[in-house]
Structure 1
Amino acid sequence: MRLIILSLYLFLSWNPEGKGQSSPSLFETLYGLEEVSITLTYPFDSLYRTNREEIDAIISIESKEGMLMHNEKITLNLRGKFRRMKCTMPPLLLNFKKSTLRNLNLDNIDEVKLVTHCLETPEGEENLQEELMCYRVYESLTPCAYRTIWLSVTYQDLLQQGKQIKSAGFLLEPDKDITKRLGFIERKLFNPAEDSIHFESYSNTVAFNFLIGNRDWSIIMSRNAKLFFDSISSHYVVIPYDFDYSNVVSATYRRETRPDNMTHPLERMYQGEYFKNRSGEILKKFQESEDIILNRVATAPNPMNESERKKIAKYFETWFSQIKKTEAKDLPYGYLMNYKGGL
């Protein structure tokens, strides 16, 4: 009955006669639901067959509102070269059948990324919560951001009845959903010209990565920063992602070489590739978002406990305090922000 009710909701919410309207995507639909949970059934040992690109699986999706999918066939793809080597549960790409989506009156955006717990330890879920917080803080600053859906995940072994793993994870908004939502065109290119970069989105990206202590990104190298072409401004909008290497997350598998002048693992270095003559201006402008950011840390939907939220808030407060008392001319790329506390 709950499956029928939710299916009816999806049918009624789709207006095929509406001009300029289209069916909602699977991600858009789940984004508006509460307490989303999924069950994935597949042969557990298939995750470790590195020569196999696709894994046949069965998925069920349920929410507080009812069952959306029940035992539908999908394929899984392993994501992330480094996490794939280091994680017992690597991130996955869920590839849905277009016929399944069509039967639910959904858009045919059929690939959705699932960020998993990586390690089967309490720290694995803590890292998930911390990375989710990074995404949700950034989303509070600008619509040009990846949206996320926190969910409960049950992994069931197809070959061994009763063997299962219960954990958490979150879905990352597909690029096609972003282009649909914002009217952009995704473009993959290396070393774009400075005058082609959208200044505000670039500024948010570099300042936010500095705030969370993340140096694992590059627009020039097309690493952990996507470019979307905005035909109205004729510029490339920058949207950052993958924050697991940030100091806020400090994933146990993180391996990076620190500059010689960084003596503490939680110190932050201001990294940038464009608009060097405006580096200080960028941080001074971003400083105006302090209240929004700290409020988001305190209130963002996230199972993270209060003490962890306070640690992150304190880490951010030290950043804002330092930026406030430093003149813009003294904030070039390469600026090192010392830190002696914990996180």
Structure 2
Amino acid sequence: MKIRFARRLVIVVLFLGLGFSAHSQSGLFDSKEPLVIELEFSIKQLRAETNDSTFIDSQMIFESESGQKDTVDVEIRTRGNFRLENCFYPPMRVKMKKKQAENTLFQGNRNLKLVLPCSKSKTAGNYIGREYLAYQLYEDVADFSFHTRLLRVTLTDTDDKKGEKVELLGFFIEDDDEVAERFGGKILDNKRIVPTLMEDSSTVRHDFFQLMIGNTDWSGLFQHNEKVLMLDEKTIVPLPYDFDMTGLVNPPYGQVNNNIGIEKVTDRLYRGFCRDPQLMQTIRNEILAKEEQVFQTVEESSAFFSESDEKACRLYLEEFFDILKSDRSFDKNILMACRSASAAQSF
């Protein structure tokens, strides 16, 4: 009897131990708490010597949930267009080798987009916080989205003769291939997919969301600030990213296309294509039902921007929900503003 009891006790201990271990090894995107990282490299070298296929070598120090620090070798390059040309801190891609990422929270996420503030201004981090909020809001309303992880970044620019470290807010964005694998699909790169051929419900949710955050800087057809995810032969859905040029974020460098009839990024314009009105009414009600969750997400993210920024975000989102709540405004700003199928080839 004592031997049998001892065996059972060992099994229980092993089971609990394995369960605790599995639970404690959380992934990169399993936490909403900012990840603390340190980077050191030359911004001038990054700009001058990297491109879509060329990286510079560096190291990244990161802090685990237990507070311990670890170091991984990384490769960094620039990416993007507008912010690359107009910002002091260019948008980047960070890669690490499989062996480096093994048994760390980066396992399974070795290729990441890194977003930092545009300028060196003391208030620049507020816009990063607001852009991060936009990604969180899209997860609230959509079924298919990129994961993000907020960062507290200590950056040393080796071009600085004083060697001063700067503290920045930033975030990682999940890699295209990783999000595709997570949903069991495939990213269709460099292919023009007419938006009206995409799955109806997911596309309308996407279009409503873009109106919610005041974004006109996207195109499904030309995959501008959009990826296209094929789930199966008949199902294709949009995956938006880069939400900085929006009314919700409203950065100092914000600008809009002069050909679409609005003057500033805070002006809303529905850029989605017309779908079955009944479906659009259904998505309208679906998003209205998530209003409380949307503002809860604003509250949860408000620690990462100023109190005045939080107020501005709330007011801007309230204006969107006012459109949905009013039949007249809904008809005017969405049902009558949607683009016809004949406009599907335009930007």
Structure 1 residue 130, shift from structure 2 partner: 0.9
* Alpha-carbon distance between aligned partners in 2 of 1:84 and 1:264, rounded to the nearest angstrom: 21
Segments of 5+ residues of structure 1 without an aligned counterpart are 1-7, 15-23, 336-343
The answer to whether the 8 Å contact 2:211/2:270 transfers is yes
Aligned to 1:125: 125
The answer to whether the 8 Å contact 1:155/1:165 transfers is yes
The DSSP-based 3-state class of the residue aligned with 1:31 is: coil
* Alpha-carbon distance between aligned partners in 2 of 1:32 and 1:246, rounded to the nearest angstrom: 26
Aligned to 2:4: none
Q: TM-score, normalised by structure 2?
A: 0.79
* Alpha-carbon distance between aligned partners in 2 of 1:164 and 1:105, rounded to the nearest angstrom: 25
Distance 1:196 1:320, change over 3 A: same
The answer to whether the 8 Å contact 1:157/1:164 transfers is yes
* Alpha-carbon distance between aligned partners in 2 of 1:300 and 1:200, rounded to the nearest angstrom: 27
Aligned to 1:59: 60
- Give the counterpart letter for 1:320 in structure 2: F
Distance 1:58 1:106, change over 3 A: closer
Matches within 5 A, 1:231-246: 231=232, 234-246=234-246
The answer to whether the 8 Å contact 1:270/1:332 transfers is no
Match of residue 337, structure 2, among 318, 334, 341: 334
Larger radius of gyration: 2
Question: What's the % identity of the aligned pairs?
Answer: 23
C-alpha distance after superposition, 1:101-121 (max 9, x if no partner): 236496454211111112100
Distance 1:86 1:57, change over 3 A: same
The answer to whether the 8 Å contact 2:130/2:249 transfers is yes
* Alpha-carbon distance between aligned partners in 1 of 2:35 and 2:190, rounded to the nearest angstrom: 35
Structure 1 residue 57, shift from structure 2 partner: 1.0
The answer to whether the 8 Å contact 1:175/1:186 transfers is yes
* Alpha-carbon distance between aligned partners in 2 of 1:227 and 1:283, rounded to the nearest angstrom: 23
Structure 1 residue 260, shift from structure 2 partner: 7.5
* Alpha-carbon distance between aligned partners in 1 of 2:298 and 2:44, rounded to the nearest angstrom: 38
Structure 1 residue 134, shift from structure 2 partner: 0.7
C-alpha distance after superposition, 1:234-291 (max 9, x if no partner): 3012221111110111222233234575366522111113637568535454333322
Of stretches 80-89 and 288-297 in structure 1, the one that deviates more from structure 2 is: 288-297
- Give the counterpart letter for 2:270 in structure 1: Y
Aligned to 2:86: 86
Aligned to 1:206: 207
The answer to whether the 8 Å contact 1:139/1:145 transfers is yes
Matches within 5 A, 1:188-227: 188-193=189-194, 196-227=197-228
- Is residue 107 of structure 2 the alignment partner of residue 98 of structure 1? no
Structure 1 residue 63, shift from structure 2 partner: 3.4
Segments of 5+ residues of structure 2 without an aligned counterpart are 1-16, 339-347
Q: TM-score, normalised by structure 1?
A: 0.80
**Which has more helix, going by share of residues?**
2
- Give the counterpart letter for 2:245 in structure 1: Y
Matches within 5 A, 1:130-145: 130-145=130-145
The DSSP-based 3-state class of the residue aligned with 1:192 is: coil
Q: Kindly tell me the number of residue pairs found equivalent between the two proteins.
A: 317
Matches within 5 A, 1:150-169: 150-158=150-158, 162-169=163-170
Structure 1 residue 306, shift from structure 2 partner: 3.5
Structure 1 residue 58, shift from structure 2 partner: 1.3
Aligned to 2:248: 248
Alpha-carbon RMSD = 3.3
Structure 1 residue 131, shift from structure 2 partner: 0.3
